[in-house]
Structure 1
């Protein structure tokens, strides 16, 4: 089934195969016919939506696409990596549809650039803060299942706290997120203190967009995350960046360059309108003091 195996190598495999196909001037319909596959089957493979690909199929596609021996070996390795289960798949029975795709991409990213106007970003949430929206968002789940979802969220945070090559995170958080009480004032004080402390890490940049910044983009824009995957030996991106936009009824993943660039420009506007990192940290600590006085 889709979702089993690693998202990142599946996407890489599909992209490389698509590039090889187009380099020899074959349409997807023509290539599928040569493989005796349906159009949909090859399309899903090129989109990284096939969880297990046989070595023999990769070799045959490479023969049709006149690929070099080195490319064949590399693509077979990717196909084998794609079928290896990842740690988060132990939680797959509880995840919203296709959210495993996000976790897989997040796990492979080198840098995340985000804007959040609703909640504290998941990678920065405390355990007690996380439990409230998870409980509200999954009313059908039992207490033990809620606990598993909370632990999944906390476990993901090792990406930004690990000692070797931690994920770089740059996030703009609207002040309304800090003023919205999730759980209780005590929970919020704990959460805001955790945000201030996290912003002292070299790999984390947190900026607060204050109420008086107004409407800097001039357009309605909700939460989004841009995932970058670093560059390879020749300075080319290992994988094209992806924008993730979460919605009430589903998520959107976009890697179209023009759309990604628009989100980058929007983030730049938000970042320039936000408090700088030291001022944001001071604001967070002042809000913690306000909340603690109310306890």
Structure 2
């Protein structure tokens, strides 16, 4: 099964291809400037290819680079396949006019992930938001946006959520949500009631774990943690390149992707600390249903 069979699109193949291009250029002993000269391309263009900062890759360039770098035939064939997979257009490409670049990258990674570990202290995680909860947030953020554009924004979230319910390799989700997210009203009492019931119902799925961090837990680990997501891409098929775990930190004007193993380990440890301080899954489900009744009996 290929990445394109899974509906991954360009993000992951480009990242894998970029890492391989950089690795084999370094093995060849060529500087970036000299390699770009041999490939008859700008050094900036080669740098962007190695960093996966481009949207289109010419397979001819990859074949030529493999020859110059001395890449073994079987690996070269795999690199060409990655370049071909990077051309596949998937659902989120039709929404690029609405998504900032960092979210475009994230959606592609999320679609390829096998597991998602996340902490959200004040907001319901996007993968678990109901449509009306999402719409309420969108109305507050873009109050003057035309209705048809807002409809398209809600479709982005709905497409992403299919990852949890899809029959083929559903996404494993392990979530810790701060109690503040349940108490902070979005869209009114009925919207919140339905949102919390949706969380409770979704938490019964085998591939979903939802735990609530109660306010009384204070600050586990002695720090105030900002939201984060850890994406795990599972074990690749034999011969396929490995995609390293990624920590995603979203910001208002940009986002960070951490791949260093030490950084990933720190966030996994932080999530485990939060998870241990949170209510267990059954108690969390009961709390969700109780607070839902408080909003709308």
Q: TM exceeds 0.5? A: yes
CA–CA distance in 2 between the matches of 1:7 and 1:132?
29
Task: After TM superposition, give the deviation of residue 132 of structure 1 in Å.
Answer: 0.9
Whether 1:105 aligns to 2:84 is no
Whether 1:144 aligns to 2:132 is no
Whether 1:79 aligns to 2:83 is yes
Whether 1:182 aligns to 2:167 is no
Task: After TM superposition, give the deviation of residue 152 of structure 1 in Å.
Answer: 1.6
Q: The residue matched to 2:80 in structure 1 has which SS? A: helix
Instruction: Give the gaps of 5 or more residues in structure 2.
Output: 1-8
**Who is 2:196 aligned against?**
192
CA–CA distance in 2 between the matches of 1:236 and 1:179?
45
CA–CA distance in 2 between the matches of 1:215 and 1:235?
44
Closer, same or farther: CA 72–218 of 1 in aligned 2, 3 Å = same
CA–CA distance in 1 between the matches of 2:290 and 2:255?
35
Whether 1:168 aligns to 2:175 is no
**Who is 1:203 aligned against?**
207
**Who is 2:4 aligned against?**
none
User: Superposition pairs for residues 85-96 of structure 1, below 5 Å?
Assistant: 85-96=89-100
Whether 1:45 aligns to 2:74 is no
TM-score, structure 2 as length reference:
0.92
1:121-150 CA deviation, whole Å, 9 max, x = no partner? Answer: 111000111101112222342111001101
TM-score, structure 1 as length reference:
0.93
**Who is 1:6 aligned against?**
10
Contact 1:230-1:237 at 8 Å conserved across structures: no
Cα-Cα RMSD: 1.7
**Who is 2:160 aligned against?**
156
Q: The residue matched to 2:175 in structure 1 has which SS? A: strand
Number of paired residues?
289
Q: Which moved more, 1:87-96 or 1:203-212?
A: 87-96
Q: The residue matched to 1:164 in structure 2 has which SS? A: coil
1:27-65 CA deviation, whole Å, 9 max, x = no partner? Answer: 333323332333321121111112111122101111121
1:53-84 CA deviation, whole Å, 9 max, x = no partner? Answer: 11221011111211111111111111011012
Instruction: Give the gaps of 5 or more residues in structure 1.
Output: none
